[in-house]
Amino acid sequence: MTRIFFLLIALFIFTNRLNAQETYRVKADKLRVRESSDPKSKVIGNIAQNENITVLDANNAKFYKVKFKNREGWVSKDFIEKIAPAVKPATPQANTAQPAATPQTAAGADMYRVTADDLRVRQQADPKSKIVGYLPKNENVAVIDSSNTSFYKIKVTNGEGWVSKEFLVRISPVKAAAEKTSIAASVPQENKDYTNIIFFVVVALILIAILYFSIKYASGNKFLIGFSVVVILVIGYFCYITFIQAKVVTGTFASNEDIQYKTFNFKSKDSVTVTDAYTDSIFTSKYVIEGDMIKLYDQQNTIMLLIRDNQTLIGEGFTRGTFTKK
């Protein structure tokens, strides 16, 4: 009898361990694997987006223990999602009944597609409310309330939440014009300002007039004429690089302060890779430069960086901090 009792206990423990080892999919661009469940512990590797991993321990509130390249590590649970096991229908009749529920999940709900990399789902229609989850890019969701001017209430498999309407595009009923406008929803719009060009033209006309009168009344004094030409060319050159020439930012800028965004890697003229220390993730965003200000979006947040010089960027607003070029 004792042997049977211990055998049942062992079988129960073994079954629980098998159930804990479930398969999940990575949602972040590059998910960091840490040595322990401490967000400040050593990073021992990275897992690519959409890669499947096995979760060994899901008891921690923020981190899951996973199997990673024949070893074990800990990852943030916010950037992985459980892969539901495929359930084979018992009869052909059950299989034909499924498609009727897929186009719309509820009466009056429209289907939308996510355009952001990891769209934040909030508890309420408030940009400061608690984040309850993330939606991967190209995920289809049902919108059950679109009366709010900034946020839509959505229904997903495990509940309801609110997301920014700027990162959703309607797909049902299907409208070709709606799909056309979904591209670059997260790209800041560059405002065309011709003030600097007008100012430069006015300065150029004044300099040309000064040069004309200098030559006319110099009475053949070559030194005075040459000096006037040099001064006018120097002034014109500095006006051009100050007001006309577009600012270019390249390289990696980092900050040692305790802030959310730690590094900005400007890879091309309109794309930047950002390291988010709070969510322990890396994302890529488009940016624009308006004067001395760089603007980019992290879903609902607008990140602004002031160009102090070629080696220094100054964060504005909640991105406040000093970033120096590596």
Question: Of 157 and 305, which is predicted with more confidence?
Answer: 305
The pLDDT score that the predictor gives to residue 245 is 64
| pLDDT bucket at 179, cuts 50 / 70 / 90 | very low
The pLDDT score that the predictor gives to residue 183 is 35
Between 134-138, 203-207, 214-218, 274-278, the lowest mean confidence (pLDDT) is in: 214-218
Residue 324 clears pLDDT 90, i.e. is over it: yes
Residue 30 clears pLDDT 60, i.e. is over it: yes
Taking residues 254-269, what's their average pLDDT?
A: 85
Taking residues 86-106, what's their average pLDDT?
A: 42
Q: Look at the pTM and tell me if it is higher than 0.75.
A: no
Residue percentage of the chain with pLDDT more than 90? 6
The pLDDT score that the predictor gives to residue 178 is 38
b (16+ CB within 10 A) / e for 168-190? bbbbeeeeeeeeeeeeebbebee
* Span 143-152, pLDDT tens digits: 888 888 889 9
325 vs 307: CA distance, rounded Å: 12
| pLDDT bucket at 97, cuts 50 / 70 / 90 | very low
> Are 152 and 161 contacting, i.e. CB atoms less than 8 angstroms apart?
no
3-class SS at 120? Answer: strand
Residue 240 clears pLDDT 80, i.e. is over it: no
* Span 205-237, pLDDT tens digits: 888 888 888 777 877 787 878 888 888 888 888
| Contacts of 64-68 spanning 24+ positions with Cβ under 8 A | 64/24, 65/37, 66/24, 66/33, 67/21, 68/33, 68/44
Contacts of 56 (CB under 8 A, 6+ apart): 20, 21, 65, 66, 67, 72
Residue 253 clears pLDDT 90, i.e. is over it: yes
294 vs 315: CA distance, rounded Å: 10
Taking residues 65-85, what's their average pLDDT?
A: 82
